[in-house]
Amino acid sequence: MIVVAMIATGCARGDDSDNGRPPERVVDQVGSSAEEEVASALADPGSDAFPDPLVPLAEIRSGGPPPDGIPPIDEPRFVTARDVDFLADREPVLAVAVEGDVRAYPVQIMTWHEIVNDTIGGVPVTVSYCPLCNSAIAYDRRLGDRVLDFGTSGMLYNSALVMYDRQTESLWSHFTGEAIVGHLTGSTLDVIPVQTVAWSDWRAAHPDGLVLSRDTGFTRDYGRNPYPGYDDVETQPFLFDGEVDGRYAAKTRVVGIERDGAAVAVVLDHLRDVFVVETDLAGVPVVAWLRPGAASALEGEAVDEGRDVGATGVFDRRVGDRILSFTRVSGGFRDDETGSTWNVLGTAVDGPLLGTQLDPVAHVDTFWFAWGAFLPDTAVIDAG
């Protein structure tokens, strides 16, 4: 594995303090593997050189931009949370933690780039966000002996981002982490849990944590929502031709959880009413909870102008030999067994379990049409 040495601490640019920008940091990055001399699914998805595709090629559609027309971020820069001056308290950020290394990726930046190739806790990671299906998912970029890095193909499958790896130019589903066409067809990446939370909550928990900088190398109108009104439940998804389970409108928001082949969707309106839902999934006791205060990034003209849709978290309820049960309280959640208080990120901030971190369970905040399209056998938790 090749490591590209970069500055791990201190300012990446010595004049930041003089020009009004917060001081930037860069981190050690694991180098990606070399490009391979194989047929490209990006250029010719129907090539006879590939295994049979996992999805019908006719259902992979152009979304408009060419490959990398929505440019991924390959050289991410960061600022320390306490130095950030460009985020409103209620703005959503993507929270990722690997081996104790915590990062926040503002949705106002991710909306314009969709993919960040990064290294967190020494692990090469791709953080991806698809506005069209309102989903944020991160993956470990290691695949056997390869270290992949990803770009945007310009194509969609079930209205969801289709990524491509630069090593073989295979096509990958952002939603499932599977290579669906190309040399690596059938390969699957390991998922890394992501939470979408309000900036104020993440900053309070991690004042020294690293936040993706607006200094991306590209000129974009960060903070503006290029999809105003897109999450209106009465509107239809972009370029989606699949069947929608008629129990809910296509753009009903759900919290989707999949584990060991079992899947469940918690309807967000229900979770907003009760705040805490506990269930078992594939034999694991889990809790899904919601804390108000995070804006929809897809409603207003600006990312911070959307209605309050709240921030969700999904966690394993086991701590040692105990299975905890939770109740919403002011500022967070309290477990019934010890009376400890927990923040939305699953950390005990008060009480006998102070400092304990619940194990996160990978989940996705998304629209019903997307969850149902990729996991049609899902169970549903709703008020009824």
Q: 322: domain CATH number?
A: 2.102.10
- Note whether 74 and 191 are same-domain residues: yes
Report the mean per-residue pLDDT for the chain: 93
Residue 245 lies in a domain: no
- 282 in the same domain as 176: no
Each residue's pLDDT tens digit, 64-107? 999 999 999 999 999 999 999 999 999 999 999 999 999 999 99
pLDDT band at 239 (very low <50, low <70, confident <90, very high): confident
Give the DSSP letter string of 24-61: EE---EEPPPPP-SS--TTT-TT-TTSPPPSS-GGGEE
- Per-residue pLDDT averaged across 174-184, rounded? 97
Residue 312 within a domain: yes
Same domain, 263 and 193: no
Which residues face 165 on adjacent strands?
Answer: 150
pLDDT at residue 248 is higher than 50: yes
* Residue at 319 is within a domain: yes
Percentage of the chain lying above the pLDDT 70 cut: 95
Q: Are residues 42 and 157 in the same domain?
A: yes
The domain tally of the chain equals 2
Do 186 and 70 belong together in one domain?
yes
Q: Tell me, yes or no, whether 230 lies in a domain.
A: no
Residue 357, beta-bridge partner list: 347
CA angle 70, 76, 81 (to 5 degrees): 115
- Single out the residue in 212, 238, 273 at which a domain terminates: 212
In the prediction, which pLDDT does 20 show? 61
Regarding whether 290 and 147 lie in a shared domain, the answer is no
Same domain for 283 and 155: no
What's the pTM value of the predicted model, to 2 decimals?
A: 0.93
- Digit-coded pLDDT (tens) for 30-76: 999 999 999 999 999 999 999 999 999 999 999 999 999 999 999 99
- Residue 222 in domain: no
- In whole angstroms, give the CA distance from residue 167 to residue 195: 29
What residue numbers bound the domain in which 265 lies? 253-381
Indicate whether 334 pLDDT > 70. yes
